Amino acid sequence: MLNIVLFGPPGAGKGTQSENIISKYNLTHLSTGDLFRKHLGEGTELGKLARKYMDEGRLVPDEVVISMVDDKIANTPETNGFIFDGFPRTVAQAEALDRLMEKNNIKISGMIALDVAEDILKERIRERGKTSGRTDDQDESKIETRIRVYLDETLPVAEYYEKQGKFTKINGVGTIEGIFADITKVIDQY
């Protein structure tokens, strides 16, 4: 089984590259952002709870995210593996994911981090905001908040995987195909 954590700041291209990885390796996409947006669209209690955090660009509380991921893994019995996209976003989530993996007798193969400079990220998010309909992509202060939250709370997750010898950084600036080629070189060595 391949279980890959795709890591990087907002706007790094995780969603785009996830799609490529999924079709090549036949994996299950587990994007916590997408799952929350689905709940939001369906107006579930979980969606209502997540909304107030998402609208401000802040993180949804760990226990809420973790139980949603636990459910998704439990409800996906037959798979070649998972792409974790936008999760884990805190060290507590990374520790919880390790426990979930252990419970299901599976392992994280590795983390692939997409590296993109901050000014490029902001430009990409603004561009995406013109068509994505995401309110968190359309407001400068929300974009700033998300990048700050990434630097403060999410970046330590990279170190967590580095300590386990599971971390690889890739240049996230270039053509989509070129970046994907670099990603496949890493995955093919797992």
Figure out which of the listed residues 22, 29, 53, 98 binds ligand ADP, where binding follows CB under 6 A: 53
Question: Does the protein bind ligand ADP through residue 81 (CB under 6 A)?
Answer: no
Nearer to ligand ADP, 2 or 6 (CB): 6
Q: Report how many residues bind ligand ADP under the rule CB under 6 A.
A: 18
Closest to 8 (Cα-Cα) out of 166, 155, 182 = 155
Least separation in angstroms between CB 189 and ligand ADP:
26
Q: Is 59 annotated as a binding residue?
A: yes
Could you say which of 4, 27, 81, 87 contacts ligand ADP (CB under 6 A)? 87
107 an active-site residue?
A: no
User: Has 15 been labeled as part of a binding site?
Assistant: yes
Length reported for the chain: 190
Concatenated DSSP letters of the chain? -EEEEEE-STTSSHHHHHHHHHHHHT-EEEEHHHHHHHHHHHT-HHHHHHHHHHHHTPPPPHHHHHHHHHHHHHT--S-SEEEEES---SHHHHHHHHHHHHHTT----EEEEEE--HHHHHHHHHHHHHHH--GGGS-HHHHHHHHHHIIIIIHHHHHHHHHTT-EEEEE--S-HHHHHHHHHHHHTT-
Query: What tokens were used for 147?
Result: 């990048």
Q: Is residue 37 annotated as involved in ligand binding?
A: yes
Residue 65 within binding range of ligand ADP, rule CB under 6 A:
yes
Stretch that binds ligand ADP, among 28-36, 113-121, 159-167, 170-178 (CB under 6 A): 28-36
Catalytic-residue membership of 51: no
* Active site (annotated) includes residue 148: no
Residue 89 appears among annotated catalytic residues: yes
Q: Which of 32, 122, 168, 183 binds ligand ADP (CB under 6 A)?
A: 32
In one-letter notation, the amino acid at residue 71 is D
Show which residues are catalytic: 14, 89, 128, 134, 146
Contact residues: ligand ADP, CB under 6 A = 10-11, 32-33, 36, 53-54, 57-60, 65, 86-87, 89, 93, 136, 146
Binding annotation for AMP:
32, 37, 58-60, 86-89, 93, 134, 146
